[in-house]
Amino acid sequence: MRKLLLGTTALAAATAMSASALADVSIAGSYEFKYKSESSQVASKDGTTMAHGDTDMVLTFTNKTDSGLTLSYRYDLSPAIGDGEVTTLDENSLAISGGFGKIVLGQDDDAGDAYNIDEMDLPTEEPGAGTLASSSIGTSSSIASTDAMKVAYHLPAMGGLTAGVSFADSGTNTGTDTTSMGARYSMDAAGASITLGYATKTTEATTKDTDQTNMGLKVVSGDISLIVSQGTYEAVDEDRDNQGASISYKMPNGMTVAAYTFKSEDALDVGEELSRSGMEVSYSIASGLTAVVNVEDYDYKVDASTHEGTPVVDNGTATQLTLKASF
C-alpha cells in the first residue's frame, strides 16, 4: 500500500511538472489569389496577370512562467507555392512580456511599424503603383520595416499612450545599424475614437544616413473610419515628401467600401512625383473567406535628366480581384 501511494504521488508530481512545462500552441494560415488587369505605358505591365498574394503559416507557442512572465515564440513561414520556389522564413522571434512591458528578440518588425499610421491602413489591398518600374519614389506615407535580427522594447500602456524602440545591428564595420521608434496616443472625443501616431527609422551609412518619418491621425466614428497621414524619406539624393488620406465605411451586409489618395514628390530629383487614388470593395463571403475588388489610377512623372537612375514614366489604371482565405 505504501509503495502504491508513493508511486501514485510520484506520477501525479511528474504529470504536474509536465503540464506546467507544456506551452499553448496555435497554428494559423492565410492564402491570397490575385487576378489583375492593368492598362499601362510600360509594356511589361500592360495586360492581365494571375499571382499568389500573401501566403503565410504561423506557429505560436505561449507559456507563462511561475514568476508571471509570458513567453511567446512566433515562427512565420511563407510556404513554397510554385515550381522552383522554396519556403522562406519571414519572422522568427521570442517575446517576453510582463509588468515592465514587452521585449522582442529575433527576426521581427521594426518597433516603429507598430505605431505607424498611413492611408493604406484602411484598404486591405493595393494594385497598380506598387509595381512602378525603375522608380525611387514613395508609394505610401508609411515607413519601411524589415525582419532583420533585432532587439525591441515596448513600454506598458500608460492610459492611452503606447511606445516602443528597436535596434538592429548590421554586424559589419560599415556602420549600417538601424534604430526605429514610435508612439501612439488614443482617446475618445464626441463619441469618436481618435488615435495619433508617430514613427521614425534611421539606418546609418558612411555617406548619408537614411531617415524616415511618419505622422498619422485616425478617427473612428461608428462604421466610418478616416485617416490622414504624412511621411518623409531622406537619403543619398533623396528628399521625398509623402501625403495621403483614406476613408472607409462598413455596411450592414458585411461589405466594406474604402477610398484613398496619395501623392509623393522628391525635392532633389526635380519633376519627379507620383499621384495615386483608388477605391476598394471587400465582402465577407463566409467566415475566413473574403473577396476584395480594387480599382486604382496612378500617374508617375519624372525627368530622366535630373534623376540618378533610369526611371520610366508611367500612368494607367489597375483593376484587381483578390480572394483571401484565413485558417
pTM attached to this predicted model: 0.87
Per-residue confidence band for 35, with pLDDT thresholds at 50, 70 and 90: very high
Give the Cα separation of 202 and 212 in Å (integer). 6
Per-residue confidence band for 171, with pLDDT thresholds at 50, 70 and 90: confident
Per-residue confidence band for 271, with pLDDT thresholds at 50, 70 and 90: confident
User: Is pLDDT above 70 for 83?
Assistant: no
pLDDT for residue 255 = 96
Q: Domains, the chain, ranges and CATH? A: 2-326 (2.40.160.10)
Give the Cα separation of 317 and 65 in Å (integer). 54
CB 292 within 8 A of CB 124: yes
User: Is pLDDT above 70 for 130?
Assistant: no
Tens digit of each residue's pLDDT (9 = 90 or more) over 64-80: 999 999 999 999 988 76
User: Is pLDDT above 50 for 100?
Assistant: yes
High-pLDDT (> 90) share of the chain, % = 69
CB 197 within 8 A of CB 215: yes
pLDDT for residue 21 = 54
pLDDT for residue 52 = 87
If you average pLDDT over every residue of the chain, what do you get? 88
SS3 152: strand
Best mean pLDDT range from 13-17, 89-93, 145-149, 277-281: 277-281
Q: Strands 101-107 and 238-250, how do they pair?
A: unpaired
User: Is pLDDT above 80 for 14?
Assistant: no
Per-residue confidence band for 174, with pLDDT thresholds at 50, 70 and 90: low
pLDDT for residue 41 = 86
DSSP characters over 230-299: EEEEEETTEEEEEEEEEEEEE-TTSEEEEEEEEEEEESSSTT-EEEEEEEEEEEEEETTEEEEEEEEEEE
pLDDT for residue 4 = 38
What's the mean pLDDT in 242-260?
Answer: 96
Could you tell me which residues are beta bridge partners of residue 210?
203
What's the mean pLDDT in 140-165?
Answer: 95
Who wins on pLDDT, 179 or 20? 179
pLDDT for residue 53 = 86
Per-residue confidence band for 230, with pLDDT thresholds at 50, 70 and 90: very high
pLDDT for residue 81 = 63
Per-residue confidence band for 117, with pLDDT thresholds at 50, 70 and 90: very high
SS3 16: helix
Per-residue confidence band for 225, with pLDDT thresholds at 50, 70 and 90: very high
